[in-house]
Structure 1
Amino acid sequence: MKNLLYIFIGVLVSFFLLHSCEMDEENITTQKPLTADETYYENLRYYKQTDHPICFGWYAGYANTSSPSMADHFTGLPDSMDIVSLWMGIPSGETWDEMQYIRKVKGTKVVLCSFTHMSDGEYPLTNEGMEEFAMYLVNKVMNNDLDGLDLDYEPEGDWLKDDQFTKFIQFIGQYLGPKSNSGKLLIVDFTSKTRPQAGCEPYVDYFVHQMYGTSSAYTIQQKFDEISSWCPPEKYVPAEWLGNYPDTGGVFFTEADGNKIDSWGNPIYSVIGMARWNPTQGRKGGFATYYFEYEYNTTRPANQSIGDKESTPIPYYSLRRGIQEQSPAIR
């Protein structure tokens, strides 16, 4: 069964070629999402339910509701993407329907994204105010039947930090996350400057570390080592700001053994480098990207000017190939 699963992963991450149609009046080309038979989608949903390293991303393109580009539609996202974080709030109308489609048919989880700031005066800076803010977020997840909550922990002097943030997580953890038995995810994003405390760990499914512009496996390992005493490797997810590097998929990346080439002979950049990397302590939780929709119209891996060996471009190259590198198919 495991071998069949990995073979399936290889098939589905290769399932990317999109049909196009010509609009006569304006002579512009738009793309239609591919469809597949129910067996494919059953296998896809099964894969999403297995214990495997995830592909996670903050997504904003859906806010461009009139865009003809599949980069701006939930139905255009890579099928094998595990978790999408709603960077532009909860959608409505046809966009809501598209979001529900990828959840129900493709098994993709969609979570609410929120900053954790409380210093704007909306809630009192007390334990009671903290609980009121927490319940506002929990209710937003529950009332919209989302798959969980993604908290962006960048306090920058905000009251809700350190011990208060740990209390905040422990309170939310009654309703979301691994201790809640709700089936809903609780995710914490953080930077190297403002890391959550160890007391948060039992209540959180994934810790997504903003490692933007990181060029080596050595650096990622160093950063993970700093929290490895309390963070299990399978909860740790390094993230790259893909929107800053749509043409390459990140910064040029060197692996721990000095390797700089991916499985197809193309140079490794940081998104795929993070997907290939695992800490010395064990398997990581996955890899993540911010503003990944900017890479939809990539020329990779057909950009010979940066050393690519292949000639056919792949939409969402870093995400698709990253998933394959992270969970290689058995051929």
Structure 2
Amino acid sequence: MKKLLYAAMAVAGSFLFAQCSDWTDLENKFEEPYNSHGEDYYEALRAYKKSDHPVTFGWYSGWTGVGDNMYNMLRGIPDSMDIVSLWGGAFNLTPAQEEDLREVREVKGTRILYCQHIMDIGRSMTPAEVENDHIVNGKQYDSYEEAMAAYWGWYGNSGDTSPEGIETAIRKYARVITDSINKYGYDGFDIDYEPNFGYGGNISSYPNRMHILLDELSKQFGPASGTGRILMVDGEPQTLNAESGPLLDYYTIQAYYCRGDWDLDNRFQKLINKFKDITPGESDLEKEANILRKTIWCEDFEKHNSDGGPQFTTRDGITTYSLKGMAMYYRPDVGKEVQVGGVGAYRFNLCRPHNDYFFVREVIQTMNPAQH
């Protein structure tokens, strides 16, 4: 297991976490050879990723499938990373991207998700002639709203605005998203859901409508589907209807710039308040533990790609960087043995040229220590 978890681990030498300046003093390595360990290694790697363990997750940007030092290649990320969500560029792939995707999924067992903001119906899935020219089946419409309603069945105050008509339109939208994901064989759908942070819309601002969307998606993704493919909501899952919780594999929290466990505690309490009553468990503590196992804390590497996040203090008085602090998070009432579902970072690949994913590698080891 030590070889598995540290297959591409760059040794950083002396590394002191007491001072922020030390966090950035890392040598670029770029040493890991791809697909050179033999099939036994990759078979063990795939088995590890199928096991029950805290996952390492991240949003990947700027993916091309080619580039110096594998900076823009999925195959350049740490072997033991579990889940990657593509932030843009998930469709209309080049041959290089197709091969890169195939190798990391089939050889390394990394699960690759499609990521999209959910706001208004039709977002990212409406033909250009409908959105831009307001033409549907050869007919010209006077406005964007009318054209969208003609295509989807409902939009705003146009089309079938009855509850049944709105539901039918939302389910159609969900099926189109599913078809697009299936076309490229992705391992699931990561919904960026931030209705209270500038991304409201005629679906996202209405939890009942979001539940309809999730219910339709859950036929092929998430725990209810039985497919093993992931359905997750990042951003504000605590604002969903409680009934939506069982449809999700993970509650992914953008806990950016957190300074300590007290901040994570406040965020976690919102999850407890929303999902406790629908979470399996014979006691409140057992339910709390099960919610924790579904929670992924995330940092922002667009801002903190070279230091792993701001200084963070754990409830045990340990000072470290925030991503590692998140990996060490536990709930005193349920005990340290119940670990968080995982940790991740927005645009985690931006740390590649700074330190060759050092912080990602270290939190993998923090959550899943190598067995000696």
Task: Decide whether aligned partners of structure 1 residues 9 and 118 sit closer, same or farther in structure 2, where only a CA change above 3 A counts.
Answer: farther
Correspondence 1:69 to 2:69: yes
CA RMSD of aligned residues (A): 2.2
Partner of 1:238: 297
Instruction: Report the count of equivalent residues.
Output: 290
Partner of 1:98: 100
* Cα contact 1:10–1:324 (8 A) shared by 2: no
Deviation at 1:128, TM superposition (A): 2.0
Aligned AA for 2:342? G
Alpha-carbon distance in structure 2 between the residues aligned to 1:329 and 1:131: 45
Deviation at 1:9, TM superposition (A): 4.7
Alpha-carbon distance in structure 1 between the residues aligned to 2:236 and 2:243: 17
2:5 pairs, out of 12, 36, 51, with 12
* Cα contact 1:224–1:279 (8 A) shared by 2: no
* Cα contact 2:7–2:79 (8 A) shared by 1: no
Q: Which runs of 5+ in 1 are unaligned?
A: 1-7, 19-28, 261-267, 300-314
Alpha-carbon distance in structure 1 between the residues aligned to 2:40 and 2:175: 39
Secondary structure at 1:129 match in 2: helix
Alpha-carbon distance in structure 2 between the residues aligned to 1:32 and 1:222: 39
* Cα contact 1:152–1:188 (8 A) shared by 2: yes
Correspondence 1:47 to 2:48: yes
* Cα contact 1:115–1:151 (8 A) shared by 2: yes
Secondary structure at 2:340 match in 1: coil
Correspondence 1:206 to 2:250: yes
Alpha-carbon distance in structure 1 between the residues aligned to 2:73 and 2:37: 18
Partner of 1:269: 321
- TM-score, normalised via structure 2 length: 0.73
Deviation at 1:14, TM superposition (A): 5.1
* Cα contact 2:299–2:322 (8 A) shared by 1: yes
Larger radius of gyration: 2
Alpha-carbon distance in structure 1 between the residues aligned to 2:168 and 2:211: 15
Correspondence 1:248 to 2:295: no
* Cα contact 2:66–2:73 (8 A) shared by 1: no
| Runs of 4+ displaced beyond 3 Å | 29-34, 119-123, 279-282
Alpha-carbon distance in structure 1 between the residues aligned to 2:30 and 2:46: 28
* Cα contact 1:148–1:186 (8 A) shared by 2: yes
Alpha-carbon distance in structure 2 between the residues aligned to 1:226 and 1:292: 26
2:361 pairs, out of 302, 320, 328, with 320
Aligned AA for 1:16? M
Question: Where in structure 2 are the equivalents of 1:187-226 lying within 5 Å?
Answer: 187-191=232-236, 195-226=239-270
* Cα contact 1:58–1:84 (8 A) shared by 2: yes
Over the matched positions of the two proteins, sequence identity in percent amounts to 29
Deviation at 1:92, TM superposition (A): 2.6
Deviation at 1:147, TM superposition (A): 0.6
Q: Which runs of 5+ in 2 are unaligned?
A: 12-28, 124-144, 156-165, 277-290
- TM-score, normalised via structure 1 length: 0.81
Aligned AA for 2:318? N
Deviation at 1:17, TM superposition (A): 4.6
Alpha-carbon distance in structure 1 between the residues aligned to 2:267 and 2:58: 20
Correspondence 1:80 to 2:93: no
